[in-house]
Amino acid sequence: MSAFIEIQNAHKNYGTGDAVVHALDGVDFALDQGKICVILGPSGSGKSTLLNMIGGLDSLDEGTIVVDGEEITGLSKKKLTEYRLNKIGFVFQFYNLIPDLTIRENVEVVAEIVKHPLDIDEVLAALEIDSLRDRFPVELSGGQQQRASIARAMVKKPKLLLCDELTGALDTRASRQVLRFIEKINAQYHTTTMIITHNEAIAQMADTIVRIKDGKIDSQTENDRKKSAEDIEL
């Protein structure tokens, strides 16, 4: 059986001539369905570029990306939008909630446009933000806003959840709580999950740990001492 994500010889340059940056410089990568993968690496090493390519936010110069049996490199703009909309949940460092919608409405706008949404109230309950449903983002703490943005990503029932520095703006307590929800979602829905982080400790909760350096995969290891988010030393 083939892997859920398969990347071959991925290249992406930004800029030209003397100013060219090899953001991805020949990446080969595979990940099985249902895994939690943590991506580590110095700033500027190509982590976000890699995640954005997998999520169909940007396109490669060379190479192929296959997700869930579908080659996304070479999809038409329309097909790529459908792919992003129905298969991918994104969570970023800054929550990007719509300020003049309530928490429930923020989740609702996504539920309304996807093919197979989960029940909104079930998702709010799973993230333990149901009591905050009628509040506006500005009335929530950072951790609560991040849980709302995870709810918004999850209501699509995405097959792949992509998280870029999702705890980057949170304190230890809120980080742990957000990571516990990521773990719970992964267990409950078997959502394949990729987490970019600067925090080495988060790798302890991964099935697979990837290190990126200078646009290349430096190492990919299976974690045989996987810990729950509750027990990692953040």
Ligand X SMILES: Nc1ncnc2c1ncn2[C@@H]1O[C@H](COP(=O)(O)OP(=O)(O)O)[C@@H](O)[C@H]1O
Chain residues that interact with ligand X, rule: CB under 6 A? 14-15, 21, 23, 41, 43-49
199 binds Mg ion (CB under 5 A): no
Task: Report the distance separating Cα 170 and Cα 144, nearest Å.
Answer: 10
Select from 32-40, 45-53, 66-74, 103-111 the region that touches Mg ion (CB under 5 A).
Answer: 45-53
48 binds Mg ion (CB under 5 A): yes
CB 211, CB 217: distance < 8 Å? yes
Q: Could you give the C-alpha distances from 194 to 41, 165, 185, in angstroms and in order?
A: 14, 10, 13
74 binds, among ligand X, Mg ion, none (CB under 5 to 8 A by kind): none
Please provide the distance, in angstroms rounded to a whole number, between the alpha carbons at the two ends of the chain.
Answer: 36
Question: Which is nearer to ligand X, 48 or 175 (by Cβ)?
Answer: 48
Which of the 8 DSSP states describes residue 13?
Answer: E
User: CB nearest Mg ion: which residue?
Assistant: 48
Query: With 0-12 CB in 10 A as exposed, 13-18 as middle and 19+ as buried, what is 82?
Result: middle
45 binds, among ligand X, Mg ion, none (CB under 5 to 8 A by kind): ligand X
Question: Which is nearer to ligand X, 35 or 47 (by Cβ)?
Answer: 47
**What is the closest distance, in whole angstroms, from the C-beta atom of residue 71 to Mg ion in the complex?**
25
Task: Report the distance separating Cα 179 and Cα 38, nearest Å.
Answer: 12
Question: Which is nearer to ligand X, 44 or 74 (by Cβ)?
Answer: 44
Which of the 8 DSSP states describes residue 203?
Answer: G
Question: Which is nearer to ligand X, 38 or 120 (by Cβ)?
Answer: 38
Residues that bind Mg ion (CB under 5 A): 48
